[in-house]
Amino acid sequence: MGAGTSQAQAPSVQVGAQAIPVVTETNAVPGGRAFGETRLVQPMVMVRAATGAERLVLQATGDFEGLTIKNGELTPGAWGEGFSDRRHPHTYLHEFMLFAPDILRDLPLPAHLFLGAGKGFVPFGTDDPMSRPTERFPVNHHLSQILERAQAMAGISVGPAKLEGAVFNGDEPQRPDQWPNLSRFGDSWSLRLTLEPMSGLEWEGSRAHVRSPETRDVGGVDASKWSTALRWDRPVLGRPVYAMLEWSQTQDVGAFTLRSVLFETQVSAGAHHPYFRIERTDRPEDERNPDPFRDQRPIIENSVLGLTRWTIGTLGYLVDAGRVWKIDWRPFTEASLIGIEKVGGGLFDPARFYGAERHWSVTTGVRLSWGMAAHRMGRYERMTGGEMVMPMESR
């Protein structure tokens, strides 16, 4: 056996880390006053350990936002897990998935079968916002992704088609140190079909039913979820181009329907990476605590005061500034124009609560990364070189 073959069959461990210090200022806060803060967001350590020939892979991510943004990150339009207009911190063990990425590899079959179990990203919707160009999370995060669930999943790919499915616990975490409620494992399910007719061009369609996501004791309403998206990630006229158009919908059974349309793109020219995102997303307005950035918990009957629709256009610019002390430095600036309007009836009046219907937000920061190239989070199948690189990475 040659040296190259022996090396290919050897077990491997890849380790990486990242963090993003940011300064954000916006007037899209209760009362309409300008407000700013400095935070360290997305401090994460990622590990990918594999047996020989990657027959079995452990993919784990530790997220320390519970320490650095205990009270959330200032993010206009963000909502979920008891926060409003602040993105909530994710759990410390963000991902811990053990999976077999291709269990049929030794058989002369055109199909590839993969199986996985653990805590991670459910096969539904689009890529996690952490692995996309814009630092500021979109309003539709809770409509377009399902994460941090205990799941058992399986998938099969044949030619350009891939079908994935999972069963998992419906409850969302309510604090960074909370584990999934394992007594509820299997009360929710998801399916995702992906077609890749050519390298770098994908279409996905997803369907999920999530049992009582807002309450751990199954006392809340269920969520019926749909998603579809087109994703482009290949050169155009010699320049790397990433683009995605997505539509998602969540219907709280017996309550209301939330919809979102989002488009984002990034064009790379050497070390320069301009990007743009626009979205139009509905969100529920829950009763607030004395802290206007926090919602009333636990949820009580008729706690939703109305629906708002957020239209946000974001323009950003990132530069690869080089490597210092083995750390890649990528400074960026992004600015948003924000429109908020009332949808239907309800008691909530956004113009009164926020002081106006038009707002702005500016964020400046530096993406710091070390070690392994970041992967497309939530993908638990065979990896190719292109799939291990996120849109903001150098190509």
Q: Which whole number is the average pLDDT over 243-272?
A: 94
The pLDDT, as a whole number, for residue 4 is 44
Going by C-beta distance under 8 Å and a sequence separation of 6 or more, which residues neighbour residue 65? 41, 42, 43, 73, 89, 90, 176
Note the pLDDT of residue 15: 95
Mean pLDDT along residues 151-158: 96
101-146 per-position pLDDT tens digit: 999 888 888 999 999 999 999 999 999 999 999 999 999 999 999 9
pLDDT of residue 376: 78
What percent of the chain stands above pLDDT 90? 75
Structure confidence at residue 304 (pLDDT): 81
Maximum distance among all Cα pairs of the chain, rounded to whole angstroms: 73
How much is the pLDDT for 54? 86
What are the start-end ranges of the E strands in the chain? 12-26, 35-50, 57-63, 73-80, 83-87, 93-100, 111-120, 149-158, 161-168, 188-198, 201-210, 223-236, 239-252, 257-267, 272-286, 304-319, 322-324, 327-346, 358-371
Question: What is the reported pLDDT for 255?
Answer: 76
257, pLDDT greater than 60: yes
- pLDDT, tens digit, 9 for 90 and up, residues 220-249: 889 999 999 999 999 999 999 999 999 999
CATH 2.40.160.10 for domain 3-388, yes or no, is yes
Q: How far apart are CA 283 and CA 90, in angstroms?
A: 20
* 372 pLDDT more than 70: yes
What sign does the CA torsion over 214, 218, 221, 224 have?
Answer: positive
Q: Identify whether 284 is preceded by a cis peptide bond (ω within 30 of 0).
A: no
pLDDT of residue 299: 65
C-alpha 215 chain-centroid distance: 21
> Highest mean pLDDT range out of 5-19, 312-326, 361-375?
312-326
Q: pLDDT band at 395, cuts 50/70/90?
A: very low
In angstroms, the Cα distances linking 316 to 113, 133, 274, 323 are: 39, 9, 6, 21
| Contacts for 5 with CB less than 8 Å, ≥ 6 apart | none
Q: Tens digit of pLDDT for each residue in 310-361?
A: 999 999 999 999 999 999 999 999 999 999 999 988 889 999 999 988 999 9
Q: What is the mean pLDDT of residues 245-263?
A: 91
Q: Scan for tokens 């991510």, then name that residue.
A: 61
Question: In which band, very low, low, confident or very high, does the pLDDT at 300 lie, cut at 50, 70 and 90?
Answer: low
Mean pLDDT confidence for 82-108: 93
Section 184-202 average pLDDT: 97
Which amino acid is located at 271 in the chain?
A
Q: Which of 157-166, 316-325, 380-389 comes out lowest in average pLDDT? A: 380-389
Structural contact between residues 190 and 165, judged by C-beta atoms closer than 8 angstroms? yes
Give the global pTM.
Answer: 0.91
Look at residue 113 in the predicted model and tell me its pLDDT.
95
